[in-house]
A = this chain, B = another copy of it.
Amino acid sequence: MTHVYDDPATFKDDVLVGFAAAYPGHVQRVPEASGFVRAGGPLEGKVSTVFGGGSGHYPSYSGVVGTGFADGAVLGDLFASPSAEQVYRVCRAADGGAGVVMGFGNYAGDRLNFKVAADRLVAEGIDTRIVYVTDDIASAGADKVGERRGIAGTFTVYKVAGAAAEAGLDLDGVERVMRLANARTFSFGVAFDGCTMPGADEPLFHVEPGRMDFGLGIHGEPGITSDDWMPAPALAAKLVETVLAERPADADGRAAVLLNGLGATKYEELFALFGPVHRLLVEAGVTLVQPEVGELVTSLDMAGCSLSVTWLDDELETYWTAPADTPAFRRGAAVANNRFTERREVRAAGEDDAVPEASEESRTAGRVAQRAVAALSASVEEHKEELGRLDSVAGDGDHGIGMSRGALAATEAADRAAGAGGGAQTVLAAAGAAFGDKAGGTSGILWGLLLSQMGTELGNDDAVDGPRLAAAVTTSAERLQEFSKASLGDKTMLDALFPFVEALRQGVDAGRPLADAWGDAARAATDAAQETASLTPRIGRARPLAERSVGTPDPGAVSLGLIVTAVGEVLAGPGA
């Protein structure tokens, strides 16, 4: 149960403010961003490591910003990916001129947002590498390691990468070491009870009393298999056996071992478990190198814990045992780095408020786009609770809140851009950027990109008619699919988007008026959204949720149906 909060909507920001106040000796907040860099700013010539993901995992990730660990941390809302804009701002502030290695757990929303930010950083001349962590054995088989989620093993992988950067390795070197650490890190966990979001009355899930769920997630996802409660030695055996089963052939036995508590499973319990874990590992020939028992990657007040093993070689051992000095994790005598002595100023992200020129026709289209954004926002607002309920079946129930936050920000941005005489492209680009930044998560990045791409297709010069709009929608949808195909499964808003696009094109090609064609297409999208409630599990943040989602339509697809319906009413109305 979460008891301490003010307004749940501002919870993440309240946490950022309190954290910055507590540890000014270690961190500074990046201006206008939900993230931190080291108090002294970036070190000139040193590769920077920036780790991120949703909030709710403290001390991951803001708690490990400091010498020998992270150069920056970027935080999304509770359990939701930070927006690409936020990732970009923190990385830019953290860059010391030698490039950035980004780290995050393997979740769709994080992969999309960090990728967009990385592309932008590279375009600005900051060499940026992406390494996502895939340590969770339970989330996919050994033949699909790349599909595994990142859980508590992120801690070891990040620590090793941070130490490698601190030691002066170049960008290729830090990326290589971090990939090696990830490839040799395996975790398996058990959940006893779910966590409760601030302001919510009920946990995200319950474990049946007297049972244990194995294969937990760190975002309130329940486990994959269930078993009767077992005493600590039996639990230790199950965790150790599962993790050791993936011991690489070339591992010589040295290992960094974490026994991580998720929040409500306390230290005494962790030590009572670590006794038999330690004994079993030693019996299996494992040499534990500076193990850690405690709360390293939490999930609010979730009850549960996990065992992580990183098989060390000489290089990884050096970096794992290297000193670190951060708010929540300190090791050895970490002194100020004397390899890099010059500090950079922390750079805020640049802002360019000049409105590009636009033709009269495109400014007219821009005003229609403005009204369309306002209408979609109103519709999202009206259905916010319903979208939250749909999402809570297998997610964390924040889809409605996230979409609402994004849509309101998009409306404001579109109003400003249209008011300043922006054309279609300017209005939609502003709306898209604001949507992506404020909504966060997977939906945020997808809607942000969709709106921005539509703007790119429509431009600031030409008038917009039916065929032109249909073509723009089609191209934007294809771009979106291309962008997301590596990270998304097959039950998402795209399942409603493509039927919409197809119907819109057919209608326009048949010469029907735009408003009519759009209206029909919107109905097709709404139908398609309902059909996502099939027997096929959908891919959300976590594979293990799949079964629970059967029979409930995907909230992303439902909101797409709502949005195109609302936009259709604008197009059918006066002045369109």
Instruction: Out of B18, B192, B231, B268, name the residue touching A271 (CB < 8 Å).
Output: B18
Known: A271-B18, A278-B18. A4 touches B265 (CB 8 A): yes
Which of A51-59, A109-117, A174-182, A350-358 lines the interface with chain B? Answer: A51-59
Number of copies: 2
Which of A9-17, A360-368, A454-462, A494-502 lines the interface with chain B? Answer: A9-17
Proximity string of chain A (269-309) to chain B, C-beta cutoff 8 Å, 1 when within and 0 when not? 11111110111000000000011111100101101010000
Contacts of A398 in B (CB 8 A): none
B232 with A274: CB separation less than 8 A: no
A483 part of interface (Cβ distance < 8 Å) = no
Contacts of A294 in B (CB 8 A): 328
A4 with B300: CB separation less than 8 A: no
Q: How far is the CB of A331 from chain B (nearest CB, A)?
A: 7
- 23 A-B interface contacts by CB (under 8 A): A2-B266, A2-B269, A3-B212, A3-B265, A4-B232, A4-B269, A5-B231, A11-B272, A14-B232, A14-B275, A18-B272, A18-B277, A18-B278, A19-B271, A22-B259, A22-B271, A22-B274, A55-B268, A63-B267, A78-B268, A267-B298, A301-B303, A333-B333
A334 part of interface (Cβ distance < 8 Å) = yes
- Give the number of residues in A that approach B within 8 Å (Cβ atoms): 67
Contacts of A301 in B (CB 8 A): 264-266, 303
A272 with B22: CB separation less than 8 A: no
B21 with A278: CB separation less than 8 A: yes
Instruction: Out of B3, B17, B58, B233, name the residue touching A229 (CB < 8 Å).
Output: B3
A58 with B4: CB separation less than 8 A: no
Contacts of A279 in B (CB 8 A): 21
- Who on chain B is nearest to A63 by CB? B267
A1 with B192: CB separation less than 8 A: yes
A293 with B192: CB separation less than 8 A: no
Query: A300 vs B270: C-alpha distance in the bound complex, in angstroms?
Result: 11
B333 with A273: CB separation less than 8 A: no
Contacts of A2 in B (CB 8 A): 266, 269
A124 part of interface (Cβ distance < 8 Å) = no
Contacts of A233 in B (CB 8 A): 6
A3 with B192: CB separation less than 8 A: yes
A463 part of interface (Cβ distance < 8 Å) = no
Query: A235 vs B14: C-alpha distance in the bound complex, in angstroms?
Result: 14
A335 part of interface (Cβ distance < 8 Å) = yes
Known: A1-B192, A235-B4, A293-B22. A300 touches B266 (CB 8 A): yes
B22 with A58: CB separation less than 8 A: no
Contacts of A18 in B (CB 8 A): 270-275, 277-278, 293
- A 179-219 contacts with B by CB, 8 A: 192-193, 198, 212
Most buried by B among A14, A233, A290: A14
7 interchain residue pairs of minimum CB distance: A18-B271, A58-B267, A18-B275, A330-B330, A4-B269, A18-B274, A21-B278
Q: How far is the CB of A90 from chain B (nearest CB, A)?
A: 18
Query: A328 vs B277: C-alpha distance in the bound complex, in angstroms?
Result: 20
- Who on chain B is nearest to A267 by CB? B58
A271 with B58: CB separation less than 8 A: yes
Proximity string of chain A (50-93) to chain B, C-beta cutoff 8 Å, 1 when within and 0 when not? 00000110110001000000000000001000000000000000
B25 with A268: CB separation less than 8 A: no
Query: A298 vs B270: C-alpha distance in the bound complex, in angstroms?
Result: 14
Query: A224 vs B278: C-alpha distance in the bound complex, in angstroms?
Result: 42
Query: A233 vs B78: C-alpha distance in the bound complex, in angstroms?
Result: 20
Instruction: Out of B229, B235, B268, B298, name the residue touching A11 (CB < 8 Å).
Output: B268
Query: A17 vs B273: C-alpha distance in the bound complex, in angstroms?
Result: 10
Q: How far is the CB of A336 from chain B (nearest CB, A)?
A: 9
B271 with A15: CB separation less than 8 A: yes
Instruction: Out of B3, B278, B305, B325, name the residue touching A269 (CB < 8 Å).
Output: B3
B55 with A4: CB separation less than 8 A: no
A263 part of interface (Cβ distance < 8 Å) = yes
Contacts of A212 in B (CB 8 A): 3
Contacts of A268 in B (CB 8 A): 11, 15, 55-56, 58, 78, 300
Query: A331 vs B229: C-alpha distance in the bound complex, in angstroms?
Result: 39
